[in-house]
């Protein structure tokens, strides 16, 4: 078993703030990023927790991101709230426009947040859970870089293109899922590479279009969608909804914009929110009961709802007051904190 290091919330916050401030992120961006990384780490979401500090630093070193950018929320009379991230990380833009999205959803029954001109590296479930904690159902989608081959293809045309959804549950953790439409998240492949472990079959091809289990060859080649043509179709849908629909970049265009530099992809994001009270005609409790009957029928037969393990990890880590990260990752982060 690999050696681990115990970190409490203050340790995580200090480490994140140190790295982010030294690399050029202003206090508002550093706070928004730290909050998300700490949330993911306490849920044992290793690929989107402290590990993402490396991408934050790499993104800043690319020279294009603005670590001081203040997002601009555009007023509107309709159900769309548009926020321009001004070339900054998406998280601060989301935080800035969230109250407006909640207000518009309760006014119109359904509303959308459009984030333009942002760099995005983070998990989507913390965002949709912010909405379900307000009693709203929510979906979020983003493109990325064209790292993923379409079904039947031999090169990257699509992004990892995650889709997240959260459904509020009274007195219980929400029903939430957040998954890439690629068979693996990009961060997971990087973690396999760092650990020297082979990938499972069927998640990647090399630069010549041949199947591979070598993480490095996968990074140089292309990833594959889950579910063959079904996952590929979903991925294309996300390209359209989170790209041309909102006047922002596709994953191909995001890759071109990067000009070979590393770091987080540059594109847009769309978040949809639904008010159960208005959609159900005010019959929220009756329809919550229907949803709970469905959830119970699933779990009573031994199946697990999405995110159950994550919620269990959160409960355990919060109760004991710390998380465990691999010593190798911790050591690398300490080196990073000294270098930036």
Cα separation, 215 vs 225, whole angstroms: 16
Residue 48 annotated to the active site: yes
Strand 222-224 and strand 204-205: the pairing is antiparallel
Whether 90 is a known active-site residue: answer: no
CA–CA dist 91, 35 (Å, integer): 10
Catalytic residue among 127, 188, 190, 269: 188
Task: Return the exposure string of 169-201: e unless at least 16 CB atoms fall within 10 Å of the residue's CB, then b.
Answer: beeebbbbebbbbbbbbbbbbbbbbeeeeebee
Of the listed 48, 120, 145, 267, which one is catalytic? 48
CA atoms within 13 Å, Cβ hemisphere of 123: 30
- Residue 149, C-beta contacts closer than 8 angstroms, at least 6 positions apart: 155, 156, 157, 158, 205, 209, 222, 223, 224, 225
| Annotated catalytic residue, options 35, 47, 62, 292 | 47
Q: What is the dihedral of CA 36, 41, 46, 49, to 10 degrees?
A: 30
How many other C-beta atoms can be found within 10 angstroms of the C-beta atom of residue 155? 13
Active site residue ranges:
47-48, 188
């Amino acid at each position: 078993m690999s050696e681990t290091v115990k970190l409490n919330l203050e340790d995580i916050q200090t480490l994140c703030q140190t790295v982010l401030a030294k690399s050029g992120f202003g206090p508002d961006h550093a706070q928004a990023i730290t909050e998300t990384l700490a949330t993911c780490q306490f849920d044992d979401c290793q690929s989107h927790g402290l590990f993402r500090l490396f991408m934050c630093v790499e993104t800043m070193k690319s020279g294009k991101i603005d670590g001081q950018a203040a997002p601009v929320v555009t007023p509107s009379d309709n159900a769309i709230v548009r926020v321009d991230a001004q070339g900054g990380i998406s998280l601060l833009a989301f935080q800035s426009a969230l109250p407006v999205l909640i207000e518009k959803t309760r006014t119109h029954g359904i509303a959308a947040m459009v984030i333009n001109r942002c760099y995005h590296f983070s998990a989507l479930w913390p965002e949709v859970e912010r909405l379900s904690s307000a009693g709203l159902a929510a979906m979020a989608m983003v493109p990325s870089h064209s790292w993923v081959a379409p079904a039947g293809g031999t090169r990257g045309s699509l992004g990892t293109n995650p889709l997240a959804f959260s459904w509020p549950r009274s007195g219980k953790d929400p029903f939430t899922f957040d998954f890439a439409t690629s068979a693996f998240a990009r961060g997971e492949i990087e973690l396999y590479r760092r650990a020297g472990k082979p990938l499972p079959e069927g998640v990647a091809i090399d630069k010549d279009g041949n199947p591979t289990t070598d993480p490095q060859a996968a990074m140089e080649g292309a990833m594959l969608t889950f579910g063959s043509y079904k996952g590929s179709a979903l991925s294309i849908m996300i390209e359209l909804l989170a790209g041309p629909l909102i006047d922002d970049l596709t994953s191909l265009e995001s890759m071109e914009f990067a000009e070979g530099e590393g770091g987080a992809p540059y594109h847009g994001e769309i978040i949809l929110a639904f008010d159960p009270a208005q959609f159900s005609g005010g019959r929220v409790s009756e329809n919550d009961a229907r949803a709970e009957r469905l959830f119970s029928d699933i779990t009573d037969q031994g199946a697990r709802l999405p995110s159950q393990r994550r919620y269990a990890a959160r409960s355990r880590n919060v109760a004991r007051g710390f998380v465990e990260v691999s010593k190798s990752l911790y050591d690398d982060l300490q080196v990073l904190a000294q270098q930036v």
